[in-house]
């Protein structure tokens, strides 16, 4: 202590002595006195060009040694600014005393006079009023008194500072209104920051401040309308945390310069409107905490401002859904806060955005969080989905992160995405390397003539004796293989490269405890041997197999990739697995193996309607093509219990098939949420179970197997596609396109004709639909009834069925009846059958 006191004394003595050494009433004298009075040493020289204060850092002199700029920022100066010091620097242009602990201004500060252009007193503890004397500084361009304890009103004399460009009075205790004189007089003002004071009253009209681009009056007690602030020249408007209530824009205001808008924490009512073109350059918008702001189209209209980076609509009383346009239009969005609203519906796929912060907490959102979005979460700064009604598969998030950001959400992963279960059950995890090529040669080589432009579909068959096939060895391919397993497909082969077949789970919904693996599937199908091939369908080959426990299944390999994430595909397959109806072939399970999705169905032992109608055996077949087929090699170990047409070639049975298929479709269209459009209704999708009950298969698969490149899968099979599909490329399949396909099947059931390329007597029609419709229209329906069934029932009923088919195949989708109505119509035709339920 004593030593310290001594040093201070010595230092003071030296300073006083030095100050005293200055000639009185010179700038050097005043500056020396400034430091000595504040108990500080003068700053070290910054250069040796001159002697005395002009060499001090922070001090600049003019040619005559007069101080024109003085900065003592952040030097820890404390107490009142002494009189007869800086106030006496007659030629001072810039004074910066910011970031000290100064408490009061000297009376002679106002004598500085006309030369002063910049005054920075920011970040001190100066109390008291800012007087009208500030008007003395006629040439002032920048006044920063922010971060002090100034009280009282803002001096109206500020309005006389016509050259003032920056006014910063933020973080003080200024009260009263914003003086009208300021907004009329300070015509050069570029930035005005009055934030965090206690200003009240209305916001004046700022239209006279033609250069103003930055306005911040955040954190005051201002109220009324904000119309005055919305002037075309403004780029930044921060009116947050006040009591504004009137959200009015003057007519013609387009806000085309506005990039930053903060209206949060006010009492705005009504709707914030983004009319066409308005705010088109907005990047940052915060309307948070205006509970009564919007009940309408705010979110939708936001989607129209493509440059947005920050959107904060927390606590704005929002309703409705998050528009899907967000993800396509707001590609630059980094922060999205929609928390504490009443937003419902599902979360759209926002993964294409550059989101760093996403807060959707405390809303009314439902459904699953898109997997693509969940995958991006670990790279985000902050996210919150709490207090909604959401489901997420959070397998990659820590339990802590889940608890914090997903409160009240359900953590629910599709079974196949969680291989832990399998690992527990399967002790031996021997590496089983296995390259398996299942090769299907081009069958139509022998039938080359059939390859006509449209009708030509590739048909794959395997050739046992002559490997026409390129043998794809594991080593060759391993470079391009990622992960433990992958499939390769090209036009003629698909290759399973599975290193650890026992680690790939096969989910069987009804038998969850059996934990089958891909190895079981391999065993069940003799490594997908051609002997077990049932069909080569549109989605890929179908094999027959016996899973351990004698569970007979049809294994459908969905060869085509899909844009769907594995997890979404698994979820979708699990959803399909829950869909049960007596006229649907139940999906029994699934397996995700590399890029391949494998759907496992209960085996339908009595074949399908295509076989039945056209007297085909049950062996290998193509479901893609309807032109002449040869079936010479259909007995390679495949079950061929032939369903002889006797007993099945009756009107009553055809009707039962029609009604069963109609019921299945009505259930998919009207009984499932979301609705399932089949997209591929045709006889080879209608199977018969052991009791000959018709069952529709393959529903919902186009989502899991479809791609956007392969439009084939999104469209119906040839002959079954409604006319709207031939007109345009981008038609979406709807329930009404299923109705059309069903109509074709119904014609087929009654006439026994194939939809394309068959013989249609009396007409030169190239398709069943055109022919049958023309005949029905001409009242010649009875002449086209399949001779095989004609005598097995009432002709009138068959004609009525043709009329239903006629309705279903109407040119205009809107003219076609709904599937439910068709069920009713078909029931009416044959009451005996209908009574059975």
Would you name the residues annotated as active-site residues?
680
Tokens of 51: 């002697």
Burial of 580 (0-12, 13-18, 19+ CB in 10 A): exposed
CA distance 591 to 570: 8
Specify which residues 236 forms β-bridges with.
Answer: 214, 260
- Shortest distance in whole angstroms from residue 97 CB to ligand NAG: 9
CA torsion sign for 378, 379, 385, 391 is: negative
CA distances, 44 to each of 55, 60, 72, 79, 334 (Å):
8, 13, 12, 22, 47
CA distance 348 to 197: 42
Q: Name the residues that contact ligand NAG, by CB under 6 A.
A: 47-49, 73, 98-99, 120, 122-123, 142, 144, 146-147, 166, 168, 170-171, 191, 193, 195-196, 214, 216, 218, 225, 227, 236, 238, 246, 248, 260, 264-265, 286, 288-289, 295-296, 312, 314, 335, 337, 342, 344, 357, 359, 361-362, 364, 366, 384, 386-387, 389, 404-405
- Shortest distance in whole angstroms from residue 698 CB to ligand NAG: 26
Check: CB of residue 733 under 8 Å from CB of residue 679: yes
CA distance 637 to 544: 11
Tokens of 261: 């808008």
CA distance 118 to 144: 8
CA distance 469 to 463: 8
- Shortest distance in whole angstroms from residue 109 CB to ligand NAG: 16
Check: CB of residue 748 under 8 Å from CB of residue 771: no
- Shortest distance in whole angstroms from residue 394 CB to ligand NAG: 13
Match 């529709």 to its residue by tokens: 696
361 vs 567, which CB is nearer to ligand NAG? 361
> Other CB atoms closer than 10 Å to residue 442's CB: what's the count?
17
Tokens of 259: 């990039």
- Shortest distance in whole angstroms from residue 174 CB to ligand NAG: 13
- Shortest distance in whole angstroms from residue 230 CB to ligand NAG: 11
Q: Which secondary structure element, helix H or strand E, spans residue 712, and what is its range?
A: helix 711-714
Match 């609705």 to its residue by tokens: 675
56 vs 387, which CB is nearer to ligand NAG? 387
Buried/exposed 754-779: b ≥16 CB within 10 Å, e otherwise: bbbbbebeeeeeebbbebbbebbeee
> Other CB atoms closer than 10 Å to residue 61's CB: what's the count?
21
- Shortest distance in whole angstroms from residue 57 CB to ligand NAG: 14
Query: Which residues touch 291 (CB under 8 Å, ≥6 apart)?
Result: 315, 316, 317
265 vs 540, which CB is nearer to ligand NAG? 265
Burial of 398 (0-12, 13-18, 19+ CB in 10 A): exposed
218 vs 809, which CB is nearer to ligand NAG? 218
48 vs 480, which CB is nearer to ligand NAG? 48
CA distance 32 to 14: 11
Phi, psi (deg, nearest 5) at residue 721: -80, 135
- Shortest distance in whole angstroms from residue 335 CB to ligand NAG: 5
Nearest-5° Cα angle at 415, 414 to 421: 145
Q: Tell me the residue ranges of DSSP E strands in 93-210.
A: 94-96, 101-102, 118-120, 127-129, 142-144, 149-153, 166-168, 173-176, 191-193, 198-202
Strands of the sheet with 410-411, listed across from one edge:
344-345, 364-368, 389-392, 410-411
Phi, psi (deg, nearest 5) at residue 695: -140, 130
**If you ran DSSP here, which 8-state letter would residue 774 be given?**
H
Strands of the sheet with 516-517, listed across from one edge:
516-517, 505-508, 587-593, 596-602, 551-558, 541-547, 533-536
- Shortest distance in whole angstroms from residue 262 CB to ligand NAG: 6
CA distance 438 to 583: 33
574 closest CA partner among 508, 667, 505, 513 = 508
Report which residue's Cβ sits closest to ligand NAG. Answer: 246
CA distance 292 to 531: 69
Exposure of 816 in the CB half-sphere (CA atoms within 13 A)? 25
76 vs 548, which CB is nearer to ligand NAG? 76
Tokens of 691: 């009791």
Phi, psi (deg, nearest 5) at residue 366: -130, 175
CA distance 118 to 92: 9
Match 């078909």 to its residue by tokens: 826
315 vs 502, which CB is nearer to ligand NAG? 315
Phi, psi (deg, nearest 5) at residue 612: -65, -50
């Amino acid at each position: 202590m004593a030593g310290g006191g001594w040093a201070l004394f010595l230092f003071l003595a030296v300073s006083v002595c030095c100050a005293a050494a200055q000639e009185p009433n010179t700038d050097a004298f005043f500056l020396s006195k400034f430091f000595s009075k504040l108990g500080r040493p003068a700053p070290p020289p910054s250069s040796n060009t001159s002697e005395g204060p002009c060499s001090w850092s922070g001090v600049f002199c003019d040619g005559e040694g007069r101080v024109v700029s003085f900065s003592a920022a952040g030097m820890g100066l404390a107490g009142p600014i002494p009189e007869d010091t800086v106030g006496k620097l007659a030629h001072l242009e810039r004074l910066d005393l910011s970031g000290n602990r100064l408490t009061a201004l000297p009376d002679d500060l106002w004598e500085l006079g006309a030369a002063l252009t910049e005054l920075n007193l920011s970040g001190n503890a100066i109390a008291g009023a800012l007087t009208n004397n500030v008007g003395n500084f006629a040439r002032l361009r920048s006044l920063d008194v922010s971060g002090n304890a100034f009280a009282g009103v803002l001096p109206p004399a500020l309005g006389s500072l016509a050259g003032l460009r920056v006014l910063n009075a933020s973080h003080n205790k200024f009260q009263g209104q914003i003086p009208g004189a300021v907004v009329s007089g300070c015509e050069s003002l570029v930035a005005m920051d009055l934030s965090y004071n206690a200003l009240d009253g209305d916001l004046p009209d700022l239209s006279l401040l033609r250069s103003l681009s930055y306005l911040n009056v955040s954190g005051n007690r201002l109220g009324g309308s904000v119309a005055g602030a919305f002037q075309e020249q403004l780029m930044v408007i921060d009116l947050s945390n006040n009591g504004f209530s009137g959200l009015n824009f003057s007519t013609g205001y387009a806000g085309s310069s506005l990039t930053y808008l903060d209206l949060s924490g006010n009492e705005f009512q009504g709707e914030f409107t983004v009319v066409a073109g308005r705010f088109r350059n907005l990047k940052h918008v915060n309307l948070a905490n205006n509970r009564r702001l919007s009940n309408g189209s705010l979110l939708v209209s936001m989607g129209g401002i493509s440059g947005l980076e920050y959107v904060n609509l927390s606590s704005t009383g929002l309703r409705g859904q998050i528009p899907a346009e967000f993800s396509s239009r707001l590609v630059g969005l980094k922060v999205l806060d929609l928390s504490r609203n009443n937003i419902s519906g599902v979360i759209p796929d926002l993964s294409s955005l550059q989101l760093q912060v996403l807060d959707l907490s405390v809303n009314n959102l439902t459904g699953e969080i898109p997997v693509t979005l969940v995958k991006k979460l670990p790279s985000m700064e902050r996210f919150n989905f709490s207090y909604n009604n959401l489901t997420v598969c959070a397998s990659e998030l820590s339990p802590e992160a889940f608890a914090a950001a997903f409160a009240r959400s359900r953590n629910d992963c599709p079974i196949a995405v969680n291989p832990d279960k399998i690992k527990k059950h399967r002790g031996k995890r021997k590496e089983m390397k296995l390259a398996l090529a299942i090769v299907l040669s081009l069958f139509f080589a022998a039938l080359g003539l059939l390859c006509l432009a449209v009708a030509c579909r590739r048909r794959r068959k395997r050739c046992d004796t002559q490997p026409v096939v390129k043998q794809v060895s594991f080593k060759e391919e391993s470079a391009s293989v990622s992960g433990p397993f992958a499939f390769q497909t090209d036009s003629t082969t698909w290759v399973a490269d599975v290193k650890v077949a026992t680690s790939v789970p096969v989910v069987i919904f009804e038998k969850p405890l059996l934990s089958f693996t891909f190895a079981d599937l391999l065993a069940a199908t003799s490594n997908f041997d051609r002997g077990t091939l049932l069909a080569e369908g549109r989605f890929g080959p179908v094999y027959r197999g016996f899973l351990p426990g004698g569970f007979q299944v049809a294994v459908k390999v969905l060869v085509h990739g899909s844009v769907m994430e594995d997890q979404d595909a698994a979820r979708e397959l699990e959803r399909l697995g829950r869909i049960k109806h007596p006229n649907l072939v139940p999906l029994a399970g699934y397996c995700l193996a590399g890029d391949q999705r494998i759907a496992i169905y209960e085996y339908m032992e009595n074949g399908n309607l295509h076989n039945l109608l056209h007297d085909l055996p049950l062996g290998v077949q193509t479901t893609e093509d309807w032109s002449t087929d040869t079936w010479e090699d259909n007995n390679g170990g495949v079950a061929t219990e032939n369903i002889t047409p006797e007993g099945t070639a009756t009107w009553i049975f055809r009707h039962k098939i029609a009604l069963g298929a109609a019921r299945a479709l009505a259930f998919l269209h009207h009984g499932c949420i979301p609705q399932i459009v089949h997209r591929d209704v045709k006889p080879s999708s209608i199977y018969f179970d052991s009791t000959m009950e018709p069952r529709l298969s393959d529903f919902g698969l186009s989502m899991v197997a479809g791609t956007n490149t392969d439009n084939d899968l999104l469209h119906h099979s040839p002959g079954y596609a409604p006319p709207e599909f031939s007109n345009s490329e981008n038609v979406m399949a709807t329930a009404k396109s299923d109705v059309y396909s069903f109509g074709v099947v119904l014609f087929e059931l009654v006439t026994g004709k194939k939809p394309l390329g068959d013989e249609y007597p009396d007409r030169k029609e190239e398709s069943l639909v055109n022919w049958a419709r023309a005949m029905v229209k001409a009242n010649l329906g009875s002449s086209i009834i399949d001779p095989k069934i004609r005598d097995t029932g009432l002709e009138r009923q068959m004609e009525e069925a043709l009329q239903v088919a006629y309705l279903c195949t109407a040119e205009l989708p809107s003219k076609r009846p709904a599937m439910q109505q068709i069920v009713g119509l078909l029931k009416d035709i044959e009451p005996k059958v209908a009574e059975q339920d």
